[in-house]
Amino acid sequence: MRAIDTLLSGDLPRSRLLALALGAILFALALAPFLFPGTRSLDVAAKVCIFIVLVASYDLLLGYTGIVSFAHTMFFGIGGYGIAIAMTRLDAGWSALAIGTAGALAVSLVLSLLVGLFSLRVKAIFFAMVTLAVASFFAILASQLSDLTGGEDGLTFKVPEFLRPGFRLLDEPVLGVVFGGKLITYYLVFTSALALFLGLLRAVNSPFGRVLLAIRENEFRAEALGYRTVVYRTLANCLSALVATLAGVLYALWLRYTGPNTTLDFAIMIDILLMVVIGGMGTMYGSILGTTLFIVAQNYLQDLMKMASGATRGIPLLPDLLHPDRWLLWLGVLFVVCVYYFPLGIVGRLRHGGARKG
């Protein structure tokens, strides 16, 4: 029990249903290659792992510190481009991977520090605008510097041999699963994501994390107690940016590709916001539930609707409404319902037994 408490930094789910849901997701992700064989489902599982980290790092900013930033996808992109550029320019080995990651982290650190120091002193809306401007500028830069970034096409690159799909650890499949580069990459992604999430969980449950909450609650009082809030907000901004960068590295490694559409697209920024809000801001666990629900819906709602549309054939109107082409409409309806009925997110709902907090 104490080991689990330490692992979760003393921040237990505090709801049986939540613990169950988290356990189920952990179980599904840990055994995804065996439970859901097939390229597409493994892609979804890997994306869930990576986005949990990305969304959790955004929750550190939005939920815990009360900072609204639109530059999170920029840091995600820096990670992706960092290793993509290193892998295409250097020998596609582990050292190139390390150099690319280190370079990306350094760039993110400097950028987040600059953005933070210049704009975190002033009003929240100003910070949001600055991040929006910087992120747009970065996206334009990435598409214009096509010699370096591949422009709109992005960069496809080779990964270390050990992680290539062609690599075989065992000659024969075990339990119908090929033990090769794809499986190794998946577990690299999974364990990294798990470690990063637990690290973030520790950060928000540390003395530092409580100061962030205090700043969110009453910045004036935090200052009066002797906390220099600019320092804390800037550090939170940097930490969040660094973790997003690592998530970007993992995503690029999984896709063996980095491009504007997989990292810098503003639609991804909106998705991150939705996942945080649906899961529950300021809870960390919300990022797990929000991300899983969102990405699974994004990928499988269309299939589900195709089945439903087929099943309701003969009934007027319904098959048309449930036509797979309408999936975006239904995804939208799902979000509106979620936000309306769970203003504190799914985690807030589970923890407070449905009672709305005044």
Partner 1 sequence: MQTAEHPVLETRGLTIRFGGHVAVNEVSCSFHPGTLTAIVGPNGAGKTTYFNLVSGQLRPSAGRVLLFGEDVTDDPAPVRTRKGMGRAFQLTNLFPLLTVRENVRLAVQARARSGLNMVSMWGRQSELIEKAEHFLHRVGLAERSASLASTLPHGDQRKLEVAMLLALEPDIFMFDEPTAGMSVAEVPVILELIHDIKNQKDKTILLVEHKMDVVRSLSDRIIVLHQGALVADGNPAEVIASPIVQEAYLGVSASA
Q: How many residues bind partner 1 (CB under 8 A)?
A: 30
Following DSSP, what letter does each residue of 167-200 receive, concatenated?
Answer: -BSSSS-BTTB--BHHHHHHHHHHHHHHHHHHHH
Q: Rule CB under 8 A: is residue 353 a binding residue for partner 1? A: no
CB of 280 vs partner 1, minimal distance in Å: 14
Q: Which of 41, 136, 143, 205 binds partner 1 (CB under 8 A)?
A: 205
Is 343 near partner 1 (CB under 8 A)? no
- Asked whether 96 and 86 are in contact (CB, 8 A), the reply is yes
Of 164 and 202, which CB lies nearer to partner 1 in the complex structure?
202
C-alpha 352/C-alpha 67 separation (Å) is 25
Min separation Cβ 243 and partner 1, Å: 12
Binding range to partner 1, per CB under 8 A, among 165-173, 227-235, 244-252, 296-304: 227-235
Comparing CB distances to partner 1, the nearer of 211 and 305 is 211
- Residues 259, 153: Cα–Cα separation, whole Å: 6
The answer to the question of residue 125 lying near partner 1 (CB under 8 A) is: no
Alpha helices in 60-164 (DSSP H): 72-89, 94-119, 124-144, 146-149
Distance CA 286, CA 280 (A): 5
SS3 content of the chain, % helix, strand, coil (to 5): 75, 0, 25
Beta partners for 258? Answer: 155
Our CB check for partner 1 shows the closer of 142 and 284 to be 284
Residues of this chain, 165-204, that bind partner 1 according to CB under 8 A: 202-203
- Greatest CA separation found in the chain? 70
Q: Tell whether residue 317 is a contact of partner 1 (CB under 8 A).
A: no
Our finding on whether 109 is near partner 1 (CB under 8 A) is: no
Q: Give the per-residue contact string, 233-252, with partner 1 (x = CB under 8 A; - = no).
A: --x---x-------------
Length of the chain counted residue by residue: 358
Instruction: Tell me which residues touch partner 1 (CB under 8 A).
Output: 6, 9-10, 202-203, 205-211, 213-214, 217-218, 220-229, 231-232, 235, 239
